[in-house]
A and B are shown apart, each in its own frame.
Chain A
Amino acid sequence: MYASKRSRLFVRRNSAFWMQCLLGLALAALVFLVFRTTQANLELLGVQSGFDFLSKKAGFSISQHLIPYSEDSSILAALGVAILNTLLLAVFCIALASALGLLVGVGRLSSNWLVSRLSLAYLELFRNIPVLLQIFFWYYVALRALPSFQDSLFITDYLVLNNRGLYFPFIEFGGGLSVNPPVMGRFSYEGGFYLMPEFLALWVGLSLYNASYISEIVRSGFESVPRGQWEAGAALGLKPRAVLRRVAFPQALRAILPPLTTVYMNMFKATSLAAAIAYPEIVSVFVGTVNNLVGRPVEVMAVTLAFYAGVSFLVAWLMGRWNERVLRRGG
């Protein structure tokens, strides 16, 4: 603490200078040694290096792709598909977990005893069971129990659920808005947009698990708002719900955002659990399939690590900006 303000590379004291020289040399030697060993090992195994494999033909299909993709596309395109699938899952999870976490967190503060106890029960139930087990439950048990294609569940005319996934209408904007509901084809529903069972299991599992953490953050955020603020809102004649939305929530948000960022990051990182049930995101497509196909472990791992590090730092930066805005605007 007392030394952290010094930003010059070398502190004037002699022993410190030599210690840093020694440390620098040791680090450099370690990096050099690992580099040489890896090179020798790769040569021994006959592994080539370089990123040229990205432009080669992929030759495998991916069941869910948000951009045009076929077996003839390049490996780079497969990487793009995998990254988009990862981000799609992360965004869906963040949305559902936030909504559910807010609901349960506010429920904890409810004056209704049953509601607050049930919210607590939710928190303790979902937080203390490993998330991978929850995902397995949704994937291998709950979704398997859904009706087959022939007798699908119609949630409305436009939402169809069966054990092959969830079908949405496809909304087209060309020449006015038109909604194309999924239509029953010979072997599956067609014409709509569809979420595969692997996606559904991960979405539900990750969201329910992380909502428990978010609910705890929301609760302590609201409890950090001084009691006088609620009373002042009520004294102004605002209804309880208006006090909650217009007085308490903006202030609670300041305490909520920093820990919420951590949960969002954890959730984004946890999308990699998709590899356990083969949802085609970056770990299962790139670290799994592509690495087995081309055998360039160093390059594949470097790209994957760079992706996760890049997104994490981007999210941290964006949430930091939002946090600054909330702090500035809040009264």
Chain B
Amino acid sequence: MAASLRRSAPSHRGAGRVLPWLQRNLFSSWLNGVVSVALLGLLLWLAVKLAQWLVLDAQWSGSGPGACANTQALCWPFVRARWPQFLYGLYPSAEVWRVNLGLGLGAVLGAALAVRRMPGRRWIAAFLLLAYPPLAGWLFRGGVAGLAPVDTSLWGGFFLTLVVTGSVFWVSLAAGVLLALGRQSRLPLLRQACTVWIEFWRAVPVLVLLFVVIIMLPLFLPSNIKIDPLGRAMIAFAILMSTYLAEAVRGGLQSLPAGQYEAARALGLSWAQSRLQVVLPQALVVALPQITSNFIGLFKETTVLLVIGLFDLLGEVQRAASDPQWLGAGTTVAGYLFVAVFFWLACFSLSRASARLERRMTRYRPARVN
């Protein structure tokens, strides 16, 4: 187990290389050998147990609550039966096409953006950032221009997770950039106000802020303004997210050499011009890893919505598993496994994609020593 700087040697092809590889990487000393054998044994035992539990002992066939008579066995029919609830919550099934259309459009636009040689990428990006959010909001909420209204209390599941993550991130990125610029302003009052605002909210847990906004916001606002719980929850998330993103962007701003600011001034650019055309494009590239890791954090954190009575993906699974018809350890575990696999796949591929994007973007990074 002794650590050393020597990382595992690269693997070689061919059977003749296997033995030296094994010796170098698994059996370099007798202590290493003992550890390797013990770990291999443990892994094998774990793999057998897992396969037994996940596949062999699990209940696969059947439908309806009666399928899982043995409440201890993993109950996959539960996931199959409650699939629509996990996806859409209580969204009326006749209107589900609107959710599919809205999310599908977002997915297509996002995929188009990921293609490097896409013609008109700039326009797609502008559409996604400016026109898509209100369009999707209209599709999901309805109530205008012929679409039946769907109350947000019916929203749930995977759909709610995506809506909260997407809209909070959209608002917070803009607010975060403004806060970061404000924290660097030459106006002391603005600078202090932004600093205090950021530092205070950074110290507060998301769950506490959710309670604060849910309970306090109606008190702060005149009684004729009503915001539904989902809107309030999004405001709470956006307050926190924008301060996190502001710190990420500030890191990017501070990494720029002072010469960039001075050069922009020397060119006679106004404050807004220099920020939009010189400073922010470089700062955002530097801040990109931080921004994406915050995005992934937000995505995972939407699960706390269930504590305040909004049902995201985990909330719907929890609600479905507490249905008396389906009670049993097997259903709960199957539901959790489903959510875990979903989040794991999403977060893992997001972080991989962000690492790739980061490598690609480094060519836009300002040239600097150190």
Contact = CB atoms under 8 A, between A and B. Distances in A.
A318 interface: no
Contacts of B219: 37-38, 41-42, 297-298
Contacts of A236: none
A297 B218 CA distance: 11
Nearest to A291: B215
Interface stretch (B24-32, B128-136, B150-158): B24-32
A7 B4 CA distance: 49
A19 interface: yes
Interface string B1-32: 11111111000000000000000011010001
Interface string A134-172: 001100110011000000000000000000000000000
A136 to B, nearest CB: 7
Contacts of B206: 269, 272
A7 B40 CA distance: 63
A38 B216 CA distance: 9
B304 to A, nearest CB: 6
Q: Of residues A7, A144, A240, which shows the largest number of chain B Cβ atoms within 10 Å of its Cβ?
A: A240
Given A111-B4, A131-B300, A41 B347 contact: no
Contacts of B218: 41
Interface residues of B, number: 69
A270 B40 CA distance: 35
Contacts of B35: 112, 114-115
Nearest to A225: B5
B348 A128 contact: yes
Given A1-B184, A309-B204, A313-B203, A227 B5 contact: yes
Nearest to B9: A113
A297 to B, nearest CB: 5
A134 B25 CA distance: 33
Nearest to B306: A276
A116 B347 contact: no
A13 B270 CA distance: 16
Given A7-B188, A16-B187, 11 more contacts: A4-B184, A11-B188, A27-B193, A115-B35, A128-B348, A130-B343, A132-B303, A132-B314, A141-B332, A144-B329, A297-B216
B120 interface: no
A125 B345 CA distance: 10
Nearest to B4: A111
B3 A111 contact: yes
Main secondary structure of the interface of A (DSSP, over half): helix
* Interface residues of chain B: helix, strand, loop or mixed (majority): helix
A186 interface: no
Contact of A304 (B7, B208, B220, B221): B208
Contacts of B114: none
30 contacts: A1-B258, A3-B185, A4-B186, A6-B188, A7-B188, A9-B188, A10-B188, A20-B189, A23-B187, A27-B193, A37-B222, A38-B219, A109-B7, A110-B4, A111-B3, A112-B26, A112-B28, A113-B26, A128-B344, A129-B340, A132-B304, A136-B318, A137-B340, A240-B2, A273-B304, A275-B307, A276-B307, A283-B208, A304-B212, A309-B203
Nearest to B211: A287
B39 interface: yes
